[in-house]
């Protein structure tokens, strides 16, 4: 299906992501069916859309009357009615593969033959979801970031069977919303943004667990010395420590002891009143610039650059797509490929090799593509090329 043929969108799931996705589509002029399993859930989603539209109008960020936009949202609990005339279906159900596969089997049966079926999953396999249908070539990932109305980025993910036409239609649809798509060309766990973000959260947790540093030192160094908008522990408290925990367990990755301890204790961050920081009896994140002294930021960033190199080398995404993803999706001060070029890819590689030799941990294993760049002399800005080409220190 060509993106120009998309007129009606169905969003399945009216929770925090679903109603936000529906709002962005309605704001772009699409007629949107918003469906959930219970009427009160749908009603709550519509109420949140109405509240958001009023706020946008008050701020001068809405081009038409809020009621006109809201009038394009059609609430329902009937799945067949929601998707029966849809050109694009976007699923925003809970992150359980069995649930999504069952839902996509129903969507395959109920949606028109030419409709595109998309999942908003942030970590599950698009290929595995698509296998529940008889049209895997028409299934793709559209991973919005929270909150969808404010965040500019959408990852457009191709499963193993997703056709190029489907991916192109997804990209064009995202652009029609006034948002920026990045094309994730292979279905890898975590896609692009969460793949790079993983070590940002993970490595400091291992360092604190080993008694090598403190929570405050890690957050202070990454924010005040390296310019990230939040420290890794501060971010973990905001998103929910259990969220990252479940992503790690689903991927079969080892859990840092400090993360396991927080999950076991039920202190999961802001939503429980305490996590890495105390939000009830304390002031929340209490780090100061001086706390950063001695923290090894290169150890964290080397792993992030390594994951970016793996994505690029495996043909998952271009350096431009990776960097667009992490700047728009996480607020990083610059793209991680650019940062790697500035640090020096040879410096990154040497740090990874020394860490692996000292610990034996596979998380430090250098990506083949990183090794190839360094061996080819493409070590970054100082060498005139790395992920990018440079002329006198300036990207060309």
Q: How far is it, in rounded angstroms, from Cα 357 to Cα 364?
A: 9
Would strands 139-144 and 153-158 be described as parallel, antiparallel, or unpaired? antiparallel
Assigned token pair, 36: 């959930």
Q: From the CA atom positions of the chain, what is the Rg in Å?
A: 22
Distance CA 264, CA 274 (A): 13
Tokens of 6: 């998309």
CA-based torsion, 175, 161, 310, 315: positive or negative? negative
Backbone angles phi, psi at 117, to 5 degrees: -115, 120
**CA 169 to the chain's CA centroid:** 20
- Which of 169, 148, 147, 149 has the alpha carbon at shortest distance from 158? 169
Catalytic residue positions?
122, 143, 155, 194
What is the chain's percent helix, strand, coil content, to nearest 5?
55, 10, 35
Pairing of strands 139-144, 116-119: parallel
The string over 237-276, giving b where at least 16 C-beta atoms fall within 10 Å of a residue's C-beta and e elsewhere, is bebbbbebbebbeeeeeebbebbbebbeeebbbbebebbb
Task: Report DSSP letters for 140-157, one per residue.
Answer: EEEEE-SSTTT--EEEEE
| φ/ψ (deg, to 5) at 118 | -120, 150
Residues 145, 332 contacting (CB under 8 angstroms): no
């Amino acid at each position: 299906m060509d993106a120009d043929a998309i007129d009606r969108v169905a969003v399945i799931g009216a929770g925090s992501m679903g109603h936000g996705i529906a709002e962005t589509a309605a704001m772009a002029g699409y007629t949107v069916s918003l469906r959930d399993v219970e009427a009160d859930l749908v009603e709550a989603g519509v109420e949140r859309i109405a509240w958001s539209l009023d706020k946008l109008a008050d701020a001068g960020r809405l081009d038409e009357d809020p009621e006109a936009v809201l009038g394009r949202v059609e609430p329902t609990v009937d799945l067949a009615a929601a998707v029966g005339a849809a050109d694009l279906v976007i699923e925003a159900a809970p992150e359980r593969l069995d649930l999504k596969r069952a839902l996509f089997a129903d969507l395959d049966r109920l949606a028109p033959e030419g409709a595109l079926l998309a999942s908003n999953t942030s970590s599950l396999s698009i290929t595995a979801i698509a296998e529940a249908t008889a049209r895997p070539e028409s299934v793709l990932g559209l991973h919005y970031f929270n909150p969808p109305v404010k965040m500019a980025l959408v990852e457009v993910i191709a499963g193993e069977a997703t056709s190029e036409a489907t991916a192109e239609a997804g990209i064009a649809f995202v652009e029609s919303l006034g948002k920026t798509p990045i094309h994730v060309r292979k279905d890898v766990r975590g896609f692009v943004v969460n793949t790079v973000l993983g070590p940002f959260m993970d490595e400091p947790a291992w360092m604190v667990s080993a008694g090598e540093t403190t929570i405050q030192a890690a957050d202070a160094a990454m924010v005040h010395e390296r310019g990230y908008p939040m420290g890794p522990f501060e971010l973990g408290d905001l998103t929910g420590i259990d969220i990252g925990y479940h992503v790690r367990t689903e991927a079969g990755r080892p859990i840092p002891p400090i993360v396991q301890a927080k999950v076991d204790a039920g202190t999961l961050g802001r939503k429980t009143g305490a996590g890495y920081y105390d939000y009830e009896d304390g002031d929340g994140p209490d780090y100061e610039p001086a706390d950063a002294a001695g923290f090894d930021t290169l150890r964290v960033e080397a792993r992030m650059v390594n994951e970016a190199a793996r994505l690029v080398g495996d043909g998952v995404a271009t350096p431009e797509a990776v960097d667009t993803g992490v700047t728009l999706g996480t607020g990083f001060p610059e793209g991680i490929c650019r940062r790697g070029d500035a640090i020096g890819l040879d410096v990154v590689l040497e740090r990874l090799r020394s860490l692996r030799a000292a610990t034996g941990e596979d998380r430090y294993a250098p990506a083949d593509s990183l090794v190839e760049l360094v061996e080819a002399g493409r070590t970054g800005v100082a060498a005139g090329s790395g992920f990018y080409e440079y002329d006198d220190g300036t990207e060309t």
